[in-house]
Amino acid sequence: MTARRIVDLSHPIRAGLVTYPGLPAPVITPHLTREASRDVYAPGTEFAMDVITMIGNTGTYLDSPFHRYADGPDLAGLDLATLVGLPARVVDWSDGERDARGIPASAVAGVGEPGGAVLLRTGWDAHFGTPAYATGAPFLTEEGAQALVDAGVALVGIDSLNIDDTEGGGTRPAHSILLAGGIHVVEHLTRLGELPERGARFTAAPPAIEGFGTFPVRAFAELPD
């Protein structure tokens, strides 16, 4: 069997993790401890069963259209073909030459391909889990979002706090435009610097939960040989 090169692009989830300032952190509690399970199962057999309470916007997560629009597909309504093995293009917005936080249409023009994934590398993941992550984060401009809709991509990911500018008021043009176009959004990615500009295959599939719009994913890329 040929070994595959896989890069994990997700932040681990743990109790107390702050993903987005102001949102509740996960709480993990035991439902059945290993010690207690010994009274339930045969001698020498034990299990741990735990309960996690968390908001869907935890760790590295995917936004479905239902997150923004009541009549959009929820997590259970997503086509796996738009989530698994997508040809990925990486847009590097992390270098010191950029003079603005917003990623413009010119940065993504001609990058996306129909049915593919565009991954926006900003380098902001270096601040994940720290107070610095909350302010000054790069984002995708409204014009950039529209350019990716016009390109027909299936998914857009970013390694930053949000696909939108959270410091520009309550409007969320990138979310609104992308999700209205049926394009999934994956936020809080990491390690995008380990991917080539093109050639990788990207996967980010959430559980099929009905009536739910956002949930953590195990996002990863399969690299070409």
Please give the C-alpha separations between residue 81 and each of 111, 203, 205, in angstroms, as whole numbers: 20, 10, 10
The tokens describing 178, both together, are 């992308």
Task: Report d(CA 149, CA 165) in Å as an integer.
Answer: 18
The tokens describing 109, both together, are 């023009």
Task: Report d(CA 10, CA 62) in Å as an integer.
Answer: 11
Longest dimension (CA), the chain: 65
* CB 157 within 8 Å of CB 119: yes
Please give the C-alpha separations between residue 133 and each of 18, 89, 162, 175, in angstroms, as whole numbers: 10, 24, 10, 20
Q: Mean pLDDT across the stretch 8-36?
A: 97
In this predicted model, what pLDDT tens digit does every residue of 162-171 receive, in sequence order? 999 999 888 9
Residue 2 has pLDDT above 80, yes or no: no
Q: What is the DSSP letter of 116?
A: -
Which residues have C-beta within 8 Å of that of residue 70, sequence separation ≥ 6? none
Residue 96 has pLDDT above 80, yes or no: no
The average confidence (pLDDT) of the chain is 95
Rounded to two decimals, the pTM is 0.96
pLDDT at 218: 98
Q: Mean pLDDT across the stretch 194-207?
A: 97
Q: What is the DSSP letter of 2?
A: P
Task: Report d(CA 136, CA 166) in Å as an integer.
Answer: 9
